[in-house]
Amino acid sequence: MKYKRANVNIAILKYWGKVNNLINLPYQTSISVTADNFYTLTNIELDPKANKDIVILDGKALSGISFTRVSHHLDALRKHFKRKEYCIVNSINRVFIKAGYASSASGFAALTAAYVDAIGAKVSKKELSQLARLGSGSATRSIHGGFVIWHRGKNHETSFAEKLPVKWPEFRMLFTIVDPSVKKISSRVGMQITIEKAKSYADYVKQSNESVEPLIEALKNNDIDATGRIAERAAELMRNVMLEAGLEYHTPTTQQLIQKVKAIRSKHKIPVYYTFDAGPNLILFTLEEYVNEVIRLLPEVEISVSGVGGGITNANS
Ligand code: 2P0
């Protein structure tokens, strides 16, 4: 079967909050790195005779909320392209599900690309990123490979992702498994709670957006220390507003691991930095030459290493 492949991405500068829930218009411009080892494969066939979509994920038909989210996104794509046919969707997730890493970025990016392919439409990557955004905010960035900026924009047309002019093949992500249990509050709901309850949310947005230019500069210079410092600050600023809103995604183990990462940096002079999303796991940023040493210094945690990955591609399975 022919698939569209989309890789997961990890935000270095985070997206956490929507100006508009219908089109996932974010408050923050975010910047991510696409990973090369976790991805979703999706094939779509149009079924002109069907009266609803069928969605098969890893061999099982989806139902409930998961199905509805996919079907709503297909509705949005049908509306955009003025098409009527329902779809048979076949997806395979090669993501770190057991670790609780979300797959909505790669999932909705692959879904969008597969739909566009199924109807034979020709769209630019910019437009593909706008369309993927309608399914999930972080999917906007998974259309592209390498280091990617998602401009927050002011409306559907101006909120899109593009690849940054950065070449950094030595950059590595270390995905840790701190707690494999699935997170309790989805990002979608968590963002809404944060906007409603965190008093310093407006300040957070301002500070986050002020990091855009320094981060682009650090990435262009392949400066791991500047990149890492901005990444840690961005994650901690996001966590501060989450905590203000009563949302705690970390476990004590997460906090212990953060201290260990800082100690490895100061005692061993290894440039290794952390980030996290809406969950207990840390993703570490470092360079290829330090990977084995970092793994050796963190024997208590399971780690999966990823390099920098590409954007949407064709794949067979
Ligand atoms: C990000 N996260 O920038 C941030 C950091 C989690 C923390 O984007 O509602 O699955 O589908 O737009 O994209 C996770 O939220 O949320 C996310 P929706 P999404 O990667």
Specify the residue with its C-alpha closest to ligand 1, atom 7.
Answer: 277
The reply to whether 107 and 211 lie within a common domain is: no
Ligand 1 pocket check: which of 138, 141, 148, 242 to mutate, most ligand atoms within 8 Å of Cβ?
138
pLDDT in tens, 230-274: 999 999 999 999 999 999 999 999 999 999 999 999 999 999 999
Alpha helical stretches, state H, the chain: 64-81, 104-118, 125-135, 139-142, 187-197, 201-210, 212-220, 224-244, 252-268, 291-297
pTM: 0.97
Distance CA 76, CA 192 (A): 22
Structure confidence at residue 103 (pLDDT): 79
Same domain, 7 and 145: yes
Q: Which residue has the higher pLDDT, 55 or 184?
A: 55
- Asked if residue 95 belongs to a domain, the reply is yes
Q: What percent of the chain has pLDDT over 90?
A: 93
Same domain, 74 and 185: no
44 occurs within a structural domain: yes
Buried b (16+ CB within 10 A) or exposed e, 124-155: ebebbbbbbbbbbbbbbbbbbbbbbbbbbbee
183 close to ligand 1 (CB < 6 Angstrom): no
Q: What is the pLDDT of residue 98?
A: 56
CA dist., res. 4 & res. 7, Å (int): 10
Q: Among the three residues 148, 167, 186, which one is the final residue of a domain in this structure?
A: 167
Question: Is the CB of 159 inside a 6 Å radius of any atom of ligand 1?
Answer: no
- C-alpha distance from residue 214 to each of 11, 210, 211 (Å): 15, 8, 5
Specify the CATH number for the domain of residue 65.
3.30.230.10
Determine the pLDDT at residue 100: 59
Query: Above 60 in pLDDT, residue 182?
Result: no
Asked whether 101 lines ligand 1 (CB < 6 A), one says no
Instruction: Clarify whether residues 98 and 150 are in a common domain.
Output: yes
Give the confidence band of 184 by pLDDT, cuts at 50, 70, 90.
confident
**Which residue range forms the structural domain that includes residue 72?**
2-167
For the CA atoms of the chain, what is the radius of gyration?
A: 19
- CA-CA distance, 16 to 201, in Å (whole number)? 10
Q: Are residues 265 and 188 in the same domain?
A: yes
Is the confidence at residue 3, as pLDDT, over 80? yes
Least confident of 89-98, 144-153, 297-306: 89-98
**197 and 86: one domain?**
no
Report the separation in Å between the CA atom of 187 and the middle of ligand 1, taken as the mean of its atom positions.
6
Looking at the structure, do residues 287 and 181 belong to the same domain, yes or no? yes
| Any atom of ligand 1 within 6 Å of the Cβ of 187 | yes
Per the CB < 8 A criterion, the answer to whether 14 and 208 are in contact is yes
Inter-residue contact 179 to 251 (CB < 8 Å): yes
In a domain, 301, yes or no: yes
Same domain, 193 and 227: yes
In a domain, 311, yes or no: no
**Structural domain contains residue 315:** no
Question: Do 6 and 154 belong together in one domain?
Answer: yes
For residue 4, give the H/E element and its range. strand 2-13
Q: Is 15 in the pocket of ligand 1 (CB under 6 A)?
A: yes
Of 117, 132, 167, the residue that ends a domain is 167
Left (φ > 0), alpha (ψ -120 to 50) or beta: where does 282 sit? beta
Give buried/exposed letters for 34-69 (b at 16+ CB in 10 A, else e): bbbbbbbbbbbeeeeeeeebbbebeeeebeeeebeb
- Residue corresponding to tokens 């098969």: 56
Domain boundary among 105, 136, 167: 167
pLDDT digit string, tens, across residues 32-78: 999 999 999 999 999 999 999 999 999 999 999 999 999 999 999 99
Report whether residue 16 contacts ligand 1, using a CB cutoff of 6 Å: yes
The answer to whether the CB of 29 is under 6 A from ligand 1 is: no
Same domain, 140 and 185: no
| CATH number of the domain enclosing 250 | 3.30.70.890
CA dist., res. 223 & res. 239, Å (int): 24
Give me the chain's average pLDDT, please.
96
Tell me the C-alpha distance between 235 and 125, whole Å: 28
The total domain count for the chain is: 2
pLDDT of residue 226: 98
Indicate whether 313 belongs to any domain: no
For 66-118, write each residue's pLDDT tens digit. Answer: 999 999 999 999 999 999 999 999 999 998 765 556 679 999 999 999 999 99
Q: Give the mean model confidence (pLDDT) for residues 135-142.
A: 98
Same domain, 157 and 181: no
CA of residue 264 to ligand 1 center, whole Å: 29
What's the pLDDT band for 183 if we cut at 50, 70, 90?
low
> Is position 182 within any domain?
yes
- The first and second tokens of residue 284, run together, are 């570490």
> In terms of DSSP bridges, do strands 2-13 and 313-316 run parallel, antiparallel, or are they unpaired?
antiparallel
Percent of the chain surpassing pLDDT 70: 97
Check whether residue 280 and residue 292 sit in a common domain.
yes
Q: Is 188 in the pocket of ligand 1 (CB under 6 A)?
A: yes
Rounded to the nearest whole angstrom, what is the distance from the C-alpha of residue 16 to the centroid of ligand 1? Answer: 7
Position 29 confidence tier, pLDDT thresholds 50, 70, 90: very high
| pLDDT exceeds 90 at position 133 | yes
Over residues 170-192, the mean pLDDT reads 88
